[in-house]
Chain A
Amino acid sequence: MSTTTEQAAAAAPPQEIPKVAELGTTSAPLKSAAFFIGAYCKEYNEDFMLCKAESREPGHCLKEGRRVTRCATDLITKMRENCLAQFEAHWGCLEQNNQQYYRCRTEERPLNACMFEKLGLTKVIPGTPEGRKQIHEIENPTLKRQQK
């Protein structure tokens, strides 16, 4: 399920806290969208994590947390509006392949292309050694879905 749905919390949140619709996506769509979330919501994510570094109490970073969730919901909505077919294909493949990226490169490439074309987001893996292609861009990787 890559649609965003509101989840019911165990205890209703207090009235004075603004409500935010929880991101209802399951793990495979989240993994498929992870790098785009990282690129699209970088500011909010970093702000939230810096806030958490100040204090780990659950109530300390509620405002920043709501921003993070709204941003992610926004991105998933945009992905579904612009690249629905590629997105569905990719996370469906992840679901069928133990959520391993390397088994779903054929589905991943159209998604990355579409996301760059429509939303201007690229998948960048930090820490890739200098002068090497990133692992998802290698044309003929060693590890594939089917080993020969």
Chain B
Amino acid sequence: MFAYLSNGNARRDLPPAGGFETVKYKRNLPPARARRPSHPRRRHGPVRVWLLAPWTGQYREKVRCAPRHCALSCQCLELKRENTWARIHLVPLLLAEGDRALYADAQHAHAVEAEIMKDVKGWVVSNPYTSMVATS
């Protein structure tokens, strides 16, 4: 066993003369400078954003419908209330229609499932884990 190591003719894997050359395993780029806005933006950005806040999308409704503006007219909030109640009155109608469609689809899917899986022993049709209709 291992006779070939001791007979002098063995060629061993040794490091080359002078050693291996170094492996570059780490990126050596200079650290990236943190990105920052351009000079005019840095200079004027905050002021401009602050000035434009009442007209920009995110704050427009808040600013125009803020309660402190209600001292003059509460009409923004009232318009919102009107819209909300219109939707509330329609919810049962829309929900009922959706339920009917969902129920019919589920029944149809269960019938198809029962037909396909009729040969599988112990298969439960409309198992909640395999069903496509969520039952809460």
Which residues of chain A have a CB within 8 Å of any CB of chain B? 9-14, 17, 20, 22-23, 30-31, 34-35, 37-38, 41, 44-45, 48-49, 52, 56-59, 61-62, 64-66, 68-69, 72, 101-102, 125-129, 132, 134-136, 138, 141-143
Contacts and interface: CB of A to CB of B under 8 A. Distances in A.
Interface string B80-104: 0111011111111101111111111
B132 to A, nearest CB: 12
A12 B39 CA distance: 65
Contact of A135 (B78, B98, B101): B78
A23 B98 CA distance: 12
B75 A35 contact: no
Contacts of A49: 91-92
A22 B94 CA distance: 10
Contact of A142 (B75, B91, B92, B99): B75
B114 interface: no
B100 A68 contact: no
A113 B1 CA distance: 110
Interface stretch (B14-22, B26-34, B105-113): B105-113
Contact of A68 (B78, B93, B135): B93
Q: Which of B92, B95, B103, B108 has the most CB of A within 10 A?
A: B92
9 contacts: A37-B89, A38-B88, A48-B92, A52-B95, A61-B99, A65-B95, A66-B96, A66-B100, A69-B96
Nearest to A10: B105
Interface in B99-136: 99-109, 133, 135-136
A143 B76 contact: yes
Interface of B: 72-76, 78-79, 81-83, 85-93, 95-109, 133, 135-136
B90 A34 contact: yes
Nearest to A101: B82
Nearest to B88: A38
Q: Which of B78, B83, B91, B95 has the most CB of A within 10 A?
A: B78
Contacts of A134: 78
A35 B86 CA distance: 6
Nearest to A126: B85
Nearest to A36: B89
A26 to B, nearest CB: 12
A45 B87 CA distance: 13
A102 B86 CA distance: 13
B78 A125 contact: yes
B93 A23 contact: yes
